[in-house]
Structure 1
Amino acid sequence: MTAFMSRLKPVLAGAMALAVAACTNTFRSDVATFHELPAPSGEKVSILPMDEAKQDSLEFRQYAAILGNHLRLEGYEQAGNGKPDLIVGFDVMINDGREKLDTRMGFSGPRPFYWRSYWHYGYFWDPYDPFYRHNTEVVARTVYTATLVMEVRKPDGTLLFEGRAETETRTKAVPEVVPLLAEALFVEFPGPSGVTRHIRVDLDDTGK
């Protein structure tokens, strides 16, 4: 029995590792940036929606505040009523969605209450159940693509940075997903230019 337990320990350790990985609460996003942005040195920024019609929107003021907080952490300052050194434009979009097919394992037929594995002469044995059947289910669901785009320009219009973060979501709850997209966009900001990165944000660390 001791030998059996010694062989079983690595199996249990692997199963526990898989269980922990499966329970990890992460947010995934594709992030692409293109920039000629110098290192920040306290430049003052104004943050505005790219769409002028949204500049009075309370919703977009909230998004601007989220981006402003990230920019502050990177070393920029809010211009307030003063003259900005840089102008940050942004927009948030979500599409009409598409159908996505997923597969998952299921079973059909009754499974007797006495079904169990047992140990006998160094082997595991399973009773044969003629009624138990594995099958694969195809599940259709609607997914949406939410996108946050941001650009940084000089007051004369010279473009220094453009980037986007996008993710698939099962709902059109834009206010809940924008903070996560912003979090992904600012991972190692401004990031490598001309590269799409697959970003994972640990929600347990962000407190979201």
Structure 2
Amino acid sequence: MSHFSTSPLGWLKALLAPLMLATLAACATPFNADVSRFASQLPAPQGQTFAVIADDPALAGGLEFSQYARLVEARMAQLGYAPAASAADATLIVRFDYGVDKGRERVRSTGFADPYWGSWYSPRMGYWGGRRGYYRPFGYARYGAWGYGWYDPWFDNGVESYTVYTSGISLKIDRKADGQRLFEGKAEAVSTSNRLQHLVPNLVEAMFTDFPGNSGETVRISVAPEKKRGN
């Protein structure tokens, strides 16, 4: 008699256990982002005010955008720039955008293949829990396909399938008086998560690390896990 549980709850726990372990491991590892920045005569903070607006008009006024815009506002304030009451009162206009793509599948071998169980994934079946997203002009989608590959060590089918996503933010700073572009930068990351609530704060952190950086340089910036920041 098999010692494995045959109840639906038992099987569900067995299937979700590897996913839970992978999620916990991801939370303990640094967040890596590639950051490209270009600056031209960015003024000293003294006497400068700013307002953060949506670079994509479709995001303007949204609660989600407002939440992420506050992260940018906080970092600008830390640099010494003063938030303006409105864009009309600001000397600097900060244009901000963010997004994540639909994701792409990756498959890797896990060892012995069981011909009885076969592969759990096929193009016809799609992703477990798949939810398709949509693209925006910035090149990302606010909501991408959700899905992680899982691996059952009891019935090894020889392959492990999982989804990776590319997320990114865009930051542009213009002088309001004449519209001159003073700074522009992009931060991008590849991860197994498409949760913007997790991705955007990390990308903003990477963007403002050693800000404004060396113009024309792309650097890999590692952001410490949230619990380790400030230690």
Q: Give TM-score, length-normalised by structure 2.
A: 0.62
Contact 2:187 2:203 in 1 (8 A): yes
1:63 aligned residue: 68
Give the alignment partner of residue 95 of structure 1, picking from 94, 98, 101.
101
Distance 1:60 1:198 in 2: 25
Distance 1:75 1:103 in 2: 51
Task: Give 1:100 deviation, angstroms.
Answer: 2.4
* 1:45 partnered with 2:57: no
Percent sequence identity is 37
Q: Which runs of 4+ in 1 moved over 3 A?
A: 101-106
Task: Give 1:39 deviation, angstroms.
Answer: 3.3
- Based on CA coordinates, which of the two structures has the bigger radius of gyration? 1
User: Deviation string for 1:141-181 (max 9, x for gaps)?
Assistant: 11110101000001122101000111112132112211110
2:208 aligned residue: 186
Written as runs of structure 1 = structure 2, the 5 A alignment for 1:57-206 is 57-81=62-86, 83-102=89-108, 138-155=159-176, 156-203=178-225, 204-206=227-229
Q: Which runs of 5+ in 1 are unaligned?
A: 1-22, 109-136
Q: Alpha carbon RMSD of aligned pairs, Å? A: 2.6
Q: Which runs of 5+ in 2 are unaligned?
A: 1-26, 115-157
Q: Which has the higher strand share?
A: 1
Contact 2:101 2:167 in 1 (8 A): yes
Q: Give TM-score, length-normalised by structure 1.
A: 0.69
Which stretch shifts more, 81-90 or 158-167?
A: 81-90
Contact 1:42 1:75 in 2 (8 A): no
Distance 1:102 1:67 in 2: 38
**Aligned in 2, Cα 1:200/1:104: closer, same or farther, shift over 3 Å?**
farther
Task: Give 1:50 deviation, angstroms.
Answer: 0.7
1:130 aligned residue: none
The number of residues matched between the two structures is 160
Give the letter for the 2:100 counterpart: I
Distance 1:104 1:202 in 2: 29
Contact 2:111 2:159 in 1 (8 A): no
Give the letter for the 1:206 counterpart: R
